[in-house]
Structure 1
Amino acid sequence: MEAFTPLNGIWHVNPQKSALLVIDMQNDFVLHGYPMEVPMARRRIPRMQEVISECRAATIPVIYTEHILLDSFNVSPLESAYNPALLAAGMREGSFGSRVVDDLRPGPDDIVIRKHRYDAFHNTQLETVLATISGPRQVDTVIIVGTLTEVCCDSTARGAFMRDYKVAFVGDATGALSAEAQSATERNISAFFGRVLSTEELTAELRERREGRSG
């Protein structure tokens, strides 16, 4: 059987056509002892800061997501069925835990998208924002960092692919619950849904474009 060739290397990231998605880096996912703690996401904050800084320098729009659950009714019943702890705590609307961590705090010109499902495109404003934020239909690539690698980052990458966006998935700036889950997701993304880049590789591509060295 002929070996499958991953998508990596088919295209380069063009900052003029890109937007950065910072997925669910909320206190409840990041801080020690909080309900949905993901230690890898916390450890990778410095890499996420690098990506955000490089994207800002390249005037790439920065879009954050916040995964939000409600106390008034169960807005994500299957999610809580698989994880009953969410019936009592986690990502509650208006809570400290639902906010993006201070180390990655959105700036005044950034967009924050609230979502109730893993895929940031599902019933949110994200598709409209991407279609207009740099001018009509100018964005064709999304750069993804955040957590959980294997859940919301993966689901959003697939959602972007299904809408014909190129996906740049920054492997060392996403955080999973385990190294195995991180590796498995990166393999799937690179084989079928986009490119998996390191922060260093992404930075090099952005700087090449800015300095006019790449076609």
Structure 2
Amino acid sequence: MWSIDAARSALLMIDMQNDFVLEGAPMEVPMARKRLPEMVTAVAACRQAGIPVIYSRHVLLDSFDVSPLETTYNQRLQTVGMRRGTDGVEVVEELKPEADDYVLDKHRYDAFHNTQLKSVLATIRGLNTVDTVIIAGTLTEVCCESTARSAYMNDYKVAFLSDATGGRSEAAQAATLDAVGTFFGRVLSTADMEREIGTTA
């Protein structure tokens, strides 16, 4: 089994936006808010190890329905949530991107789908240097899992952080961790990741 090579890795922080995280927000995920400390630790450790941090933001539009099946299955999203140009679409203050971080907008669950992510990963550390993605954020069983599966299909090693991802429920969290750990990558804690990238003893 492989270990994380800090020199060949990138962190994908998935959709930690105000509309998912803040109390009372349209798409509130309490587990994502509860696990903010681990996510903050993961970002800090990756920065310390020189691992680039890439943020995804799930963005919907008022001008037209850019994700029609999503809004069909969750009809609340036809009128509220993750709207371009609003505070709700922004990354939460605790994880605020820094100047050298990359922020990627997407309109589907999978951060690879119709975005620049493949090009960014192929060049952010030098041509084709990155071969591993570390995944944290929310929702565990939706955007995080979709992105993890897509990363695997694109031949990236997947390190999925069990305590720095937040799902709708413990059952949903456990189901994704089982699927990812069995078929699509490695599931590890933030502390495990820190040890492997050399930021803790």
TM (norm. structure 1) is: 0.92
Q: Match for 1:58: what amino acid?
A: A
Instruction: Output one character per residue of 1:41-63: Cα deviation in whole Å (capped at 9) or x when no partner.
Output: 00000000000011000000000
Larger of the two Rg values belongs to structure: 1
Structure 1 segments of 4 or more deviating over 3 A?
none
Q: How many residues align?
A: 201
The offset of 1:21, in angstroms, is: 0.3
Query: Which residue in the other structure is 1:207 paired with?
Result: 198
In structure 2, how many angstroms separate the alpha carbons of the residues matched to 1:28 and 1:157?
A: 22
Query: Which residue in the other structure is 1:97 paired with?
Result: 88
Query: Which residue in the other structure is 1:183 paired with?
Result: 174
The offset of 1:95, in angstroms, is: 0.4
Query: Which residue in the other structure is 2:54 paired with?
Result: 63
Instruction: Output one character per residue of 1:56-102: Cα deviation in whole Å (capped at 9) or x when no partner.
Output: 00000000000000000000000000000000100000100000000
Query: Which residue in the other structure is 2:140 paired with?
Result: 149
RMSD: 1.1
Are 1:160 and 2:151 matched, yes or no?
yes
1:63-142 matched pairs, under 5 angstroms = 63-142=54-133
Query: Which residue in the other structure is 1:31 paired with?
Result: 22
Query: Which residue in the other structure is 1:6 paired with?
Result: none
Question: What SS does the aligned partner of 2:179 have?
Answer: helix
Query: Which residue in the other structure is 2:5 paired with?
Result: 14
TM (norm. structure 2) is: 0.99
Are 1:195 and 2:186 matched, yes or no?
yes
In structure 2, how many angstroms separate the alpha carbons of the residues matched to 1:89 and 1:203?
A: 37
Instruction: Output one character per residue of 1:151-180: Cα deviation in whole Å (capped at 9) or x when no partner.
Output: 000000001000000000001000000000
In structure 2, how many angstroms separate the alpha carbons of the residues matched to 1:173 and 1:183?
A: 13
Q: Match for 1:192: what amino acid?
A: F
Q: Give structure 1 stretches of 5+ with no counterpart.
A: 1-9
In structure 2, how many angstroms separate the alpha carbons of the residues matched to 1:200 and 1:34?
A: 29
| Alignment counterpart, residue 45 of structure 2, candidates 45, 50, 54 | 54
Question: What SS does the aligned partner of 2:83 have?
Answer: coil
Q: Give structure 2 stretches of 5+ with no counterpart.
A: none
Q: Match for 1:59: what amino acid?
A: G
